[in-house]
Amino acid sequence: MEKVEIHGKLGKSTILINERLKNLNKYVTADKAVIITDETVYHHYHNDFPEWDIITIGQGEKIKNLDTAAIIYERLVQLKADRSTFIVGVGGGIVCDIAGFIASTYMRGLKFGFVSSTLLSQVDASVGGKNGVNFKGFKNMVGVFNQPEFVICDTGLLKTLPEKEILCGIAEIIKHAAIADADLFAFLEREYQKALMLDTDVITKLVRDSIIIKSTIVNRDETERGERKKLNFGHTFGHAIEKTKGLPHGEAVSIGMAIAADFSVKEELLPAKGAERLSGLIKNMKLPVSFQGNDAEIFEALQKDKKKDGSNIHFVFLDDIGSCVIRKISLNSIPVKELIANA
């Protein structure tokens, strides 16, 4: 087991890599605790849950909303949860985002922790203190910044996770390496097969390094004003492709990263070899670098990007493998047609 302590403006959070779900009760000192989980995670792992009250929710992005939150508040009232009750979200990013939101708002805030059960939630959602729900089709529209007391990243839980979900986490790991860690990138190039086979040592390193990269970036900027924008690498085109093509987030972001790297080459920031290495790694990891689409629909989606600033956008370019720069550029200056044609 490895411990990473995150000290940020939002408080301290302890991330426990390779701790086990069955040891969860060691980390909760409150007299009363309530678990929030989803049906699938409950089905696979309820035997390892401590004997606490359990609230089970459905699955999928559609249930990450205020209606589900209301159902959970109601159950907490029935269970006589009070300010001393501890909330634990056991599940992927959806469960953790909702559980953190509920814990931060019920009775003006209870202590909470997570057991992250997907690779994506271990390498991405476990760090950064973002909690929230979707509202009227807008993603993460209602929420709070608040740190969990602890996050257990039990890599043993990944063995039941479908491959397409594993790949969502892999895409964010590649992103972290590409923007901030050339050594991790080279490690991924060497060990991609072991990563896909969920080799314990390799996955443990990937989770640990990802958490350190993300927390270092987030700690410099906890409310997303500057540095944190780096984590958006691949996500400008990624979100546009996700929306228009309905691709899974990890696939769309992989294509978005390949496009952003090509754009970086065009802008003479990145040598062509860097973009080739990134595409090569993405493909080795069974993720896509291209898609069928037309530039008009992608351009339209880019214009709806919620992170855009008037007609400008902060675009994350690579200037090397393991290093990135943010440039404010006009949306109209992006050669969408050319970039899509190459993708």
Ligand X SMILES: NC(=O)c1ccc[n+]([C@@H]2O[C@H](COP(=O)([O-])OP(=O)(O)OC[C@H]3O[C@@H](n4cnc5c(N)ncnc54)[C@H](O)[C@@H]3O)[C@@H](O)[C@H]2O)c1
Summarize as ranges the residues that interact with ligand X (CB under 6 A): 38, 40-41, 44, 59, 61, 64, 91-95, 97, 117-118, 120-121, 124-125, 128, 130, 140, 157, 160-161, 165, 168
User: For residues 222 and 320, which CB has a smaller minimum distance to ligand X in the complex?
Assistant: 222
CB 253, CB 267: distance < 8 Å: no
CB 153, CB 20: distance < 8 Å: no
User: For residues 95 and 170, which CB has a smaller minimum distance to ligand X in the complex?
Assistant: 95
Instruction: Determine the residue with CB nearest ligand X.
Output: 93
Q: How far is the CB of 97 from ligand X (least distance, A)?
A: 5
Q: How far is the CB of 116 from ligand X (least distance, A)?
A: 8
Residue of 121, 99, 115, 324 whose CA lies nearest to 207: 121
User: For residues 123 and 343, which CB has a smaller minimum distance to ligand X in the complex?
Assistant: 123
Distance CA 173, CA 150 (A): 21
Residue holding tokens 């491959």? 163
Kindly report the number of other CB atoms within 10 A of residue 307's CB atom: 12
Q: How far is the CB of 213 from ligand X (least distance, A)?
A: 14
CB 86, CB 28: distance < 8 Å: yes
Q: What are phi and psi of 287, to 5 degrees?
A: -110, 155
Distance CA 121, CA 217 (A): 17
Q: How far is the CB of 225 from ligand X (least distance, A)?
A: 16
Q: How far is the CB of 298 from ligand X (least distance, A)?
A: 21
User: For residues 140 and 312, which CB has a smaller minimum distance to ligand X in the complex?
Assistant: 140
Measure the CA angle with vertex 165, ends 240 and 255; round to 5°. Answer: 30
User: For residues 41 and 206, which CB has a smaller minimum distance to ligand X in the complex?
Assistant: 41
User: For residues 14 and 342, which CB has a smaller minimum distance to ligand X in the complex?
Assistant: 14
Q: How far is the CB of 167 from ligand X (least distance, A)?
A: 10
Q: How far is the CB of 145 from ligand X (least distance, A)?
A: 10
User: For residues 145 and 299, which CB has a smaller minimum distance to ligand X in the complex?
Assistant: 145
Residue of 266, 342, 328, 267 whose CA lies nearest to 298: 342
Strands, E assignment, the chain = 2-8, 11-17, 33-38, 53-57, 86-91, 112-116, 130-135, 138-145, 150-153, 312-320, 323-330
